[in-house]
Amino acid sequence: MNRSISKTNFLDFLFCSKNLWLKLNKPELLEQFTLSDYEQHLVEEGNEVESFARNLFPGGIEVKSYGDEACQETTRLMATGVPSIFQATFIVDGFQVRSDVLTHTETGGWNLYEIKGTSAIHESGGDRNHIDDLAFQASVLRRAGVRVEKCYVVHLNNEYVRSGELVVEELFTTEDVTEKVTARMSAVEDQMEVAREYLAKDTEPTGGCECIYKGRSGHCTTFRYSNPQIPEYSVHDLSRIGLSKKKLQTMVEGKMFDLADVSEDIELSDTQKNQILVHHRGKPIIDTDAIRAELEGLAFPLYFLDYETFSPAIPLFNGYRPFDKIPFQFSLHILHDADSEPEHVEYLHMEQTDPSEAVVKMLMEYILPEGTIVAWNKSFEMDVHKKLAARLPEYRPFLERTIAMFYDLKDIFHKQYYVHPEFRGSVSIKKVLPALVPSLQYKELGIHGGAQASDAWWTMLSAAPMERDMIANDLKTYCKLDTYAMYAIWKYLQGII
């Protein structure tokens, strides 16, 4: 096969050569090859950041064509003496580059800028390696006869707090990484040759799939294709097994793939042992005394609270930094005593303005000084309150009081007081709820997770009225289920103690 290797493909190759070969040659295997709404949002956000960062380079001109035409346009622009070129394109020796920004220097050379929608430089981690990314580009430019003087990464400044109009020079940080890129150049060029040879193969490369030594969350979508001998529920699903590489390696090399095959000699954590035990027995482990002690510590009213947030790379409102969470929605089920039905209140912000004050005012109406705020993974909700307190000092006393009222219902499962075979080592509410209260499910909802909710809110704000109502309804149903689920789990646990 003869195709030029783009920098995205090269970085994918560094992450996993086999995965890239399959992606290019058997795309049907990559179930998630089509981007999810959330991934699509990340791509759009990356484009938005890049386009905003171009304001740092006044007078820059964009190459809008592709392929050979883009190369010719780049050559022409370089000859005209424009100060900066966006998307300058080069195809040399089977490698292809579209650079974010190329600026002309006083000595007739060129500086290379890579714009990243992150708040720090990544120097390792496969496809997110910004230094190797620049080394690949510098190598291709050098082959094309371009004298690259300096390499820079432009990334978001996480210290920047918006106050009025965005200040592009303060929102971004530009780091000179020339030395780091130079130090990586030879290794990257060696890898480029390896990639060229590997990707030219017409037949599927043989050889193992290294992810067999990683926990489930580290696997790509072709893992099952490359490892048909591994059962759908395997030792790779053991809780936090990805952090115990040696243990997993021993099990894999001993062909202990099924949970039933794990030998007693393997030193596992209590959580992992419990996961195997409940799988064998087919019924849960329940420590009723411990659960009782936890639940008896909660004071009524119980406020089951959940937020949905949106974290834009470029701060939308005053007081926000890049990626700060905008709490655009909450759901609150209030249980006044053990025998009553919960009362439900909710808030969904429908405008492109800062929802902070409206959210706090509504919470103040319903959350009294006494009682317990029940959350699932409370650090998330507590962080929302801390940030609200920082942005709205006039409400700080109330918000600080609420921070002291939080209880994490997940703790009961995290501490192993209740372990169900269907949790499969997870303590996510999406696993716990259907195992304990099968009549309640997330599967049928229009929105299934926080990332999707976040994206839906942003889409809703600019949608036509009918779509807007539909999305608002989906968001309310999803967030309401999150808090009702906590209530239902609490009630279920009350029933067994």
Q: How many other CB atoms are there within 10 angstroms of residue 189's CB atom? A: 15
Residues 11, 188, 211, 235: which binds ligand SF4 (CB under 6 A)?
211
H-run or E-run covering 145? none
User: Measured from the CB of residue 349, what is the shortest distance to ligand SF4 in angstroms?
Assistant: 39
The token pair that represents 2 in the structure block = 């003869």
One-letter identity of residue 141:
L
User: Measured from the CB of residue 177, what is the shortest distance to ligand SF4 in angstroms?
Assistant: 27
Residues 112, 171, 192, 220: which binds ligand SF4 (CB under 6 A)?
220
> Pairing mode, if any, of strands 110-116 and 95-104?
antiparallel
Q: Which is nearer to ligand SF4, 162 or 219 (CB)?
A: 219
Rounded CA separation 390/132 (Å): 38
The token pair that represents 120 in the structure block = 């720090």
Query: Quick one: which segment of 221-229, 263-271, 423-431, 487-495 binds ligand SF4 (CB under 6 A)?
Result: 221-229
Rg (CA), the chain: 27
Residues 74, 226, 272, 454: which binds ligand SF4 (CB under 6 A)?
226
- How far is C-alpha 222 from the chain's CA centre? 20
User: Measured from the CB of residue 260, what is the shortest distance to ligand SF4 in angstroms?
Assistant: 23
- Residue 19 touching ligand SF4 (CB under 6 A): yes
Query: Quick one: which segment of 178-186, 204-212, 248-256, 276-284 binds ligand SF4 (CB under 6 A)?
Result: 204-212
Residues 38, 223, 233, 317: which binds ligand SF4 (CB under 6 A)?
223
Cβ burial 65-103 (10 Å sphere, 16+ → b, else e): eeeeebbebbeebeeeeeebbbbbbbbbeebbbbbbbbb
Burial, 248: exposed, middle or buried (Cβ in 10 Å; 0-12, 13-18, 19+)? buried
- Residue 412 touching ligand SF4 (CB under 6 A): no
Q: Which is nearer to ligand SF4, 223 or 380 (CB)?
A: 223
Query: Quick one: which segment of 12-20, 70-78, 405-413, 456-464 binds ligand SF4 (CB under 6 A)?
Result: 12-20
H-run or E-run covering 80? helix 67-80
Residues 7, 18, 325, 349: which binds ligand SF4 (CB under 6 A)?
18
User: Measured from the CB of residue 425, what is the shortest distance to ligand SF4 in angstroms?
Assistant: 19
The token pair that represents 228 in the structure block = 């048909």
67: phi > 0 → left, psi -120 to 50 → alpha, else beta; which?
Answer: left
- Residue 16 touching ligand SF4 (CB under 6 A): yes
Residues 31, 39, 190, 210: which binds ligand SF4 (CB under 6 A)?
210
Give the bridge partners for 112, in sequence order.
102, 151
Query: Quick one: which segment of 217-225, 344-352, 424-432, 456-464 binds ligand SF4 (CB under 6 A)?
Result: 217-225
- Residue 222 touching ligand SF4 (CB under 6 A): yes
Q: Which residues bind ligand SF4 (CB under 6 A)?
A: 16, 18-19, 209-211, 219-220, 222-223, 226
